[in-house]
Structure 1
């Protein structure tokens, strides 16, 4: 299945090598992917709420997917999910943020907590390039096929 070009991806990951591999893989499965990289959970919350250095950032609009690592300094992925749940949503916002936990952790507790706190999915980072292509392609095209992604602006 072709992945639509209006999908916007935000990847919150502190490891530069992981960000690079993610970008290489997305370029393999999508045409000109729109990716915003954010280095930690604290920075993502500022980005999401348009605070501090992000107060003047242009909006991101389209079919949005957020990939969020768990193990990050300052604010880990689970703490980010907790803080996102505390942010008041406008009455017109009827959708859930499509957040996919993308982590090296296979711990059942991390998976359970992620979903309990609002993540739509939990994907263990694959160890090979080919596995990552299959994994990310499957998640993104599955969301498109099921109509999970909604047009939104943040």
Structure 2
């Protein structure tokens, strides 16, 4: 690991267990050593961010430095969660990267209008996902300056 990588928590919100596993493996394959937390829907995402329900322990569930967000989730979808995050003065500074199967222009426009930092369509192959995770982690963890929480 390069000494310049920041030790931030990456919170991944995705309802698909296989996608969560693939993203985790792709991040590991890209030599990422940051702690990764997972939630399975928008309600869990908001509970995590507000330390409610099963996420009350702030040490086990610290504020993430980066959120990878799927748009199509049950209970509360990624669009609704993104809107809530960006309307909250304490949460809006957390970069949110949409990582979804959607390629719909409407989703791209809507999420950028809501304040998403980046919109990435999930690659089809694992090798491509690893490449995307390498670039994503290099950009967000080595190049940009993130706010301290």
Say yes or no: TM over 0.5: yes
Distance 1:148-1:124 versus aligned 2 partners, 3 A rule:
farther
CA contact (8 A) 1:5 1:30 kept: no
3-state DSSP of counterpart to 2:33: coil
Partner deviation per Cα, 1:31-73 (whole Å, 9 max, x = no partner): 43310011111011011011122223425267x1110000001
- What root-mean-square deviation, in Å, do the aligned CA atoms of Structure 1 and Structure 2 show? 2.2
CA contact (8 A) 2:97 2:118 kept: yes
Deviation of 1:134 (Å): 1.1
The equivalent of 2:22 in structure 1 is 21
**Matches for 1:46-57 after TM superposition, within 5 Å:** 46-57=47-58
Unaligned runs of 5+ in 2: none
The count of corresponding residues between Structure 1 and Structure 2 is 147
The equivalent of 1:151 in structure 2 is 148
Structure 1: 4+ residue segments shifted above 3 A? none
Unaligned runs of 5+ in 1: none
Deviation of 1:145 (Å): 4.3
Q: Which structure shows the higher strand fraction?
A: 1
TM-score (norm 1): 0.85
